[in-house]
Structure 1
Amino acid sequence: MAGIRCSSAASLVASWLRRETSSSFSLFSLGNDMSLPNITGRSKVFRRFSQAQLQPRKEEKVTTPLLEAYESNPILGLRKSPEFVPAKLPVSLPLLSISSEAVTIKEDRTSIAVPLLWLRDSCTCEQCVNQGAYQRNSWTLVTDAQIKRAEVNNGFLHAVWTDGHASHYDLSAIKNHFTAALPKKSSDKQVAKFLWDRQRLGPASVVPISHDAVFTDSGLGDLLTNIQRFGFGLVDCCPPTEAATEKLVKRVAPPMPTTFSPGMWTFTSNMERNDTAYSNVYLAPHTDTTYFSNPARIQVFHCLERDGCTGGENLLVDAFHCADVLQQTDAAAYERLCSTAQNCVYMEPDVCYKWTDVVLTRNTDRKSLQRVRFNMYDRSTAPPLCAPSEMNAFYRSLRTFADLTQSAVNQHVLTLTPGLVIFIDNWRVLHGRNAFNGKRVLTGCYMSNDEFEHNCRRFSLIP
């Protein structure tokens, strides 16, 4: 293994160089020709760093259009590589060592082994990545190249490979990827979820954003932040028409077409479809499109008319909070809802949606939830996907979770009126409705997860 070690000899060299020359260079060039582990005497050290090697090197530019785009693009979250100039002494630079499988970066008592194949595959130079589309230029993985030499300079790792290719990497990004013990690097704008029940949320927690403000970047950012933090956001003073609502919706994401509608829909309690949403009866809190392979991420409601209407208050439940309570009070029930899938279905003439999945979907870290798929109305009669001996336990777990969502202490109640638009995270917040009498006309739509999240990334609200 080629390597570099802190030694008394290296310290003497650094001390001598500070006195003898103002030229800057790096002791951290790697490779078999520059390794120091076998140097045992001061004379050998001084021969290594001959006067010729101490001459200032010509500065080289390593910036590319892609790196410049990174600096100004919050989606990519990377910064531009500075000019490739030698590091100035004395500085505290990471120690590097190279093997045939990884380059190891040692700094501040931490050691990061970065796999070479990933390092080569993540090069973003013009040869590897299209600078306009940010897509790779080659279909082929380079799996036989080794690092010939490498150096840490001004916060970047610069590597030259045995096939002659040169790569430059943001060292902080590498640390963020491979240092599991430290918090992941994130933007100051990224939003932590606030889990709530009726008492914690309170009437003034989610402040409506004015309709006109949403058509500014700051107002749109505030709306997206509320949706990410609380699971829903409100907009007031919207003209009570489908057209105005659609224009507002498109500031967040385009409406998602389905069999039910090409985008926006407007309905009342006329049972136009065989769905309880088209009635005036009580609806328990639930998520929509549980029978889709990829459920709608955002659901939008705007009450256009409420003439002589009594009742019909909207019920919101933070299902992530309910799941958290379940995990704390009955961990076995929580695990069943995370691991046992059930079938959901929607059927009417010429329409048949079906999908089988778990109620609680965890993120890949298995520590936090990604999505809740919960609708007691849409469950088919097919048995859940577990052994018959475990089915009764599954149904008891599902009942426990359902009871939590039905509890008044977990429900936030509000009344939608003309002008007030609500954007609900359908992967997290359940929505329901009290029974009502009178005329009540709603317009709204679904939004897909991909369209919603890409806009959130524009504002650096999510990784």
Structure 2
Amino acid sequence: MANEPSMESASAVGRALDVLFADGKSIRFEDCWLRDHCRCSSCYHSDTFQRAHHILDIPDATILSFEFDKKKIDVVWSDNHTSTYTAEFLSKFDYKTWKESRRLKPILWHGSIHDKISVVPVEKFLHSVEGAKHVFQSLLDYGVALVEGVGVSLEATEIVCKALGGVQHTIFGGMWQFTTRADHADTAYTNLPLAAHNDNTYFTEAAGLQILHCLEHKNGTGGETILVDGFHGALELKKENPEDFKFLSSFNLEAEYIEDGHHHTYSAPVIRIDNESQELVQIRFNVYDRAPMAFKNSEECRSYYRSLRNLSKYYQDPNNQWRFKLKPGTVMIMDNFRVLHGRTGFSGSRVLCGSYVARSDWLDKARALGLIQ
């Protein structure tokens, strides 16, 4: 095929090979990398996609000789081992291309995104690749997706949760159902308003997805869902108050959750960024779960309150929020690493159910669908 990778030249440079590809990219492969990536049957189990040898058992051999054509390079090593590397395989390891292929590319938003996110019938989501792709792509793009036509029960909701990657068990259980009865020491188990927040800031790894399904709301009003793009808010803070962004992306804020028999605590920045790319990775914003903290000096203390208040102003601004009423039969899915959620206060009888899905598990589903690498 015309677009298949091919090689124009290969030359030895010290202990490495410089390979020039037909598309103009030049990649240097160190001999230690090449030997580690030998794909012969004695070095690599192709059926399990795993290396066959411990790294300490891989010889520190040098390249004795090599031959190449447009499609492959054959290497003879100083210990007489031979390896073959295809152009298709080697071309994947241009660093910029490789790094870019692993980037998530969220689409920032503020206000209503009902006309942008995927709203997928439950049968299409559960029983077609196309339906599953629509849901997971919407989560990757916007951090939100809706599944409609779900049976109004905890059991029917659980089927959707399992298809999203599997139910994550926490101190709240696996699948949970809640009203205003205080089963746990959490404001969610009341009818009070809840400001936009992320869940599980007190866990070493917060839940990846949160799933909510309103099973019933009768004899009352209110209870609108509030969603905010945490990434957009963080970048607005960086633009308008860069010193606050710097503080919240470096200061370890401690969060905690306490109830009878449990005491969770975890410290990490509110805004987590990738050290190399400086791109946003996670927002862990929850004004309710902040633990009492000591500060090393007055400046740190005042920076803490100033920066949290400035970020809170964005998240609390109705112009940046999407508000809508969850109805029985519609399951809402949100990326808890990115999207903040809350609700308005309500009256009457309101019953919700839902669960969490671990981030590793839902991203695994997205990779299996070919949406990310």
User: Which residue of 291, 306, 324 corresponds with 1:414?
Assistant: 324
2:79 alignment partner AA: D
- Using the alignment, how far apart are the partners of 2:230 and 2:211 within structure 1? 18
CA contact (8 A) 2:199 2:336 kept: yes
1:242 alignment partner AA: L
Alpha-carbon deviations, 1:295-351, whole Å to 9, x = none? 100000001111123000000000001111111222221111111111100001111
**Aligned equivalent of 1:246:** 158
CA contact (8 A) 1:94 1:152 kept: no
1:450 and 2:360 are equivalent in the alignment = yes
**Aligned equivalent of 1:395:** 305
- Using the alignment, how far apart are the partners of 1:207 and 1:309 within structure 2? 29
CA contact (8 A) 1:147 1:161 kept: yes
TM-score by length of 1: 0.75
**Aligned equivalent of 2:87:** 171
- Using the alignment, how far apart are the partners of 1:110 and 1:220 within structure 2? 35
CA contact (8 A) 2:7 2:87 kept: no
CA contact (8 A) 2:208 2:335 kept: yes
**Aligned equivalent of 1:151:** 67
**Aligned equivalent of 1:437:** 347
Compare 362-371 and 166-175 and name the one that shifted more.
166-175
CA contact (8 A) 1:195 1:320 kept: yes
1:446 alignment partner AA: Y
Compare 360-369 and 224-233 and name the one that shifted more.
360-369
Alpha-carbon deviations, 1:391-416, whole Å to 9, x = none? 31232112111111111111011111
CA contact (8 A) 1:302 1:422 kept: yes
Alpha-carbon deviations, 1:149-172, whole Å to 9, x = none? 233434433322222222233435
**Aligned equivalent of 1:25:** none
CA contact (8 A) 1:345 1:353 kept: yes
CA contact (8 A) 1:235 1:422 kept: yes
- Using the alignment, how far apart are the partners of 1:184 and 1:94 within structure 2? 24
Alpha-carbon deviations, 1:6-42, whole Å to 9, x = none? xxxxxxxxxxxxxxxxxxxxxxxxxxxxxxxxxxxxx
- Using the alignment, how far apart are the partners of 2:24 and 2:145 within structure 1? 44
- Using the alignment, how far apart are the partners of 1:111 and 1:133 within structure 2? 30
1:264 and 2:175 are equivalent in the alignment = yes
Q: How many residues align?
A: 368
User: Which residue of 255, 259, 280 corresponds with 1:369?
Assistant: 280
- Using the alignment, how far apart are the partners of 1:453 and 1:381 within structure 2? 34
**Aligned equivalent of 1:405:** 315
* Larger Rg computed on CA atoms: 1
SS at match of 2:66: strand
* Higher RCO (CA < 8 A, seq sep 6+): 2
CA contact (8 A) 2:147 2:330 kept: yes
CA distance 1:309–1:177, change in 2 (3 Å) = farther
SS at match of 2:362: helix
**Aligned equivalent of 2:188:** 277
1:106 and 2:4 are equivalent in the alignment = no
User: Which residue of 302, 320, 335 corresponds with 1:425?
Assistant: 335
- Using the alignment, how far apart are the partners of 1:333 and 1:143 within structure 2? 50
- Using the alignment, how far apart are the partners of 1:170 and 1:291 within structure 2? 47
**Aligned equivalent of 2:229:** 318
- Using the alignment, how far apart are the partners of 1:407 and 1:158 within structure 2? 62
User: Which residue of 343, 350, 368 corresponds with 2:261?
Assistant: 350
1:128 and 2:39 are equivalent in the alignment = no
- Using the alignment, how far apart are the partners of 1:209 and 1:343 within structure 2? 38
2:84 alignment partner AA: H
The structure with the greater share of residues assigned to strand is 2
TM-fit CA distance, 1:174: 3.5
1:236 and 2:148 are equivalent in the alignment = yes
TM-fit CA distance, 1:196: 0.0
Alpha-carbon deviations, 1:227-270, whole Å to 9, x = none? 11110110011000011110111111110011211x10011011
TM-fit CA distance, 1:123: 2.0
SS at match of 2:272: strand
CA contact (8 A) 2:270 2:283 kept: yes
TM-fit CA distance, 1:131: 2.6
- Using the alignment, how far apart are the partners of 2:50 and 2:7 within structure 1? 32
**Aligned equivalent of 2:109:** 196
TM-score by length of 2: 0.92
**Aligned equivalent of 2:10:** 96
**Aligned equivalent of 2:77:** 161
2:36 alignment partner AA: D
**Aligned equivalent of 2:245:** 334
RMSD, aligned α-carbons = 2.4
User: Which residue of 202, 213, 222 corresponds with 1:291?
Assistant: 202
Q: Which runs of 5+ in 1 are unaligned?
A: 1-79, 82-91
TM-fit CA distance, 1:136: 2.0
SS at match of 1:403: helix
Q: Which runs of 5+ in 2 are unaligned?
A: none
1:257 alignment partner AA: H
1:140 and 2:140 are equivalent in the alignment = no
- Using the alignment, how far apart are the partners of 1:101 and 1:330 within structure 2? 49
**Aligned equivalent of 1:10:** none
CA distance 1:258–1:96, change in 2 (3 Å) = same
CA contact (8 A) 1:342 1:383 kept: no
1:313 alignment partner AA: E
2:107 alignment partner AA: F
- Using the alignment, how far apart are the partners of 1:437 and 1:375 within structure 2? 24
TM-fit CA distance, 1:184: 5.1
SS at match of 1:312: coil
CA contact (8 A) 2:15 2:63 kept: no
- Using the alignment, how far apart are the partners of 2:275 and 2:35 within structure 1? 25
TM-fit CA distance, 1:100: 4.2
